[in-house]
């Protein structure tokens, strides 16, 4: 069985098929350093990935929130998430790109109402064109590529 290695954690989550090099970003975003014990593999062989490499993260004791799944699907659209309970795969989640994302993305436009009023929530409409993910601010209409926005959680 392929999932045999998953038994390294008892209860938690496994993120597989993360694009090569993105696991470090996800660990930073989820604030994993010091919070939950985790295992990370980077540059593992993968036939599914275009560059033949993937990253993987296993986190002990953590199940994902909806916001975290949204972040995952924005940064690593190819990711598969397995929820592990009692050392076995309890549930598999295939992430889907959300239509909208709130709060976790900051609008870079200093004139945007969400930049002026720090208590207001941001909201972005997400589209995918020629394989690239774009986020359009609902308030000022400015559009960003995923690599050009600041994510906060
Ligand atoms: Zn804006």
Q: Which long-range contacts (CB under 8 A, 24 or more apart) does 120-129 make?
A: 124/100, 124/149, 125/99, 125/100, 126/74, 126/97, 126/98, 126/99, 126/100, 126/101, 128/97
pLDDT greater at residue 5 or residue 148 = 148
| CA 93/CA 74 separation, integer angstroms | 15
pLDDT category, 6, cuts 50, 70, 90? very low
The Å distance, Cα 106 to ligand 1 centre, comes to 8
The Å distance, Cα 76 to ligand 1 centre, comes to 24
The Å distance, Cα 112 to ligand 1 centre, comes to 4
- pLDDT at residue 153 above 70? no
The Å distance, Cα 100 to ligand 1 centre, comes to 14
The Å distance, Cα 120 to ligand 1 centre, comes to 11
Average pLDDT of the segment spanning 112-137: 92
The Å distance, Cα 123 to ligand 1 centre, comes to 8
Q: Which of 2, 1, 4, 6 is nearest to 85 (CA)?
A: 6
The Å distance, Cα 129 to ligand 1 centre, comes to 20
The Å distance, Cα 105 to ligand 1 centre, comes to 10
pLDDT at res. 152: 78
What predicted TM-score, i.e. pTM, was given to this entire model? Answer: 0.73
């Amino acid at each position: 069985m392929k999932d045999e290695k998953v038994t390294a954690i008892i209860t938690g989550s496994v993120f597989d098929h993360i694009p090569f090099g993105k696991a470090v970003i996800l660990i930073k975003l989820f604030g994993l350093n010091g919070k939950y014990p985790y295992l990370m593999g980077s540059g593992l062989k993968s036939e599914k990935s275009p560059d033949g490499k993937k990253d993987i993260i296993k986190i002990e004791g953590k199940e994902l929130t909806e916001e975290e799944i949204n972040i995952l699907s924005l940064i690593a659209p190819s990711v598969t998430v397995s929820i592990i309970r009692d050392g076995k795969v309890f549930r598999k989640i295939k992430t889907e790109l959300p239509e909208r994302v709130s709060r976790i993305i900051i609008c870079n436009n200093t004139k945007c109402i969400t930049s002026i009023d720090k208590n207001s929530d941001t909201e972005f409409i997400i589209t995918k064109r020629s394989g690239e993910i774009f986020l359009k601010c609902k308030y000022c209409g400015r559009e960003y590529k995923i690599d050009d926005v600041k994510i906060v959680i």
